[in-house]
Every structure is written in C-alpha cells, then in structure tokens.
Amino acid sequence: TAIFSVGVAIGSVLINRLLGGHVSAKYAPASVIMMGVFVLALWWAVKGWVPIADTPNDADQLLNYAEFWALSQGDMILVALFGIAVFGGMFVVPLYAFLTTTVEKSQTARTVAANNIVNSGAMVIGALIYAGLASAGVSIADTLFLVAAACVVSAWISWKLHKACD
C-alpha cells in the first residue's frame, strides 16, 4: 500500500511540474500507455506465480516483507506496482483537475458526485466482468493482460479529450 501511495504522490507532483500548473490532458494518453506497460510488467512477473508452501496447509498463508522480497519476482512486482502508481497519478490527477475546473463553481460538487457515481458503476461492471472471466477459467494474471489492453482504449479516449479541450 505504501509503495502505491508514494507512487501516486510522485506522479501527481511530476505531472504538475510537466504541465507547469496548467490544467490539461496533454500527457494523459502517454501516461496511460506507460501505466499499461507497467501492468504488462506485473503480468509478466506473476503469470508463472506458484504458491510457496512447505505443506498444503501453508499455501494460504501470507508472506512477510522479507519473504516476499526474497522471491525471484518480488522486486519486479514492486517495481511494476510503483510504475503503475506513478503513471496512474500522472493520468488521473490532471483529468480530475480538468473535471473540476471546467464546470461552473456552483456545479463542482454535483460534477464530482456524478463522477463518483459513474466510477462506482464502472467498478461494479468491472467486478462482474471479472467474475465472468474467473468463472470461465481466466487466471488472475491473464486479467492483468486484459487490463493492459484496456489501457490502449483509455489512451485513445484521453487523446480525444485532449484534442477536443486543450
């Protein structure tokens, strides 16, 4: 959780510096593409993941930090999560700023509320899609590959937003 929070914070500061304090979706397409690259790195790191267990009863136990770091793919997983967080911050923060600054001040709260409702609905739809994929036998790792593919669609949408509004 900490690595993800720090990554989003770094991405937020970095995008603010790149944009010079201006509100723009200029870097959103590149940011989401890079986020997709790191999702692919995460997919690559976890696709062959085999639970570590001395006995079948130990398979459900969590690893502590040192045990996780000792895994051959542990460092790659942390780097991938950090990259997803940095570029996720670079993608989301300007779009949220764009959302809140392009409406009348009196409509900002309603706009944020509407955005939260849409986001919640998208999460429910995503959970239902994942449930369908999981019941069809698609692995957790392979859903990461699908998420990376969805980043291409997000990049296209954010590019259209940038061209329409910047």
* pLDDT per residue rounded down to tens, the chain (166 residues): 789 999 999 999 999 999 998 988 899 999 999 999 999 999 999 987 776 655 455 556 777 878 877 877 888 999 999 999 999 999 999 888 888 888 898 999 999 999 999 999 999 999 999 999 999 999 989 999 999 999 999 999 999 988 887 6
Q: Is the pTM of this model over 0.75?
A: yes
DSSP 22: -
CA distance linking residue 123 with residue 132, whole number of Å: 14
CA distance linking residue 153 with residue 36, whole number of Å: 10
What dihedral angle (degrees, nearest 10) is formed by the CA atoms of 122, 123, 124, 130? 110
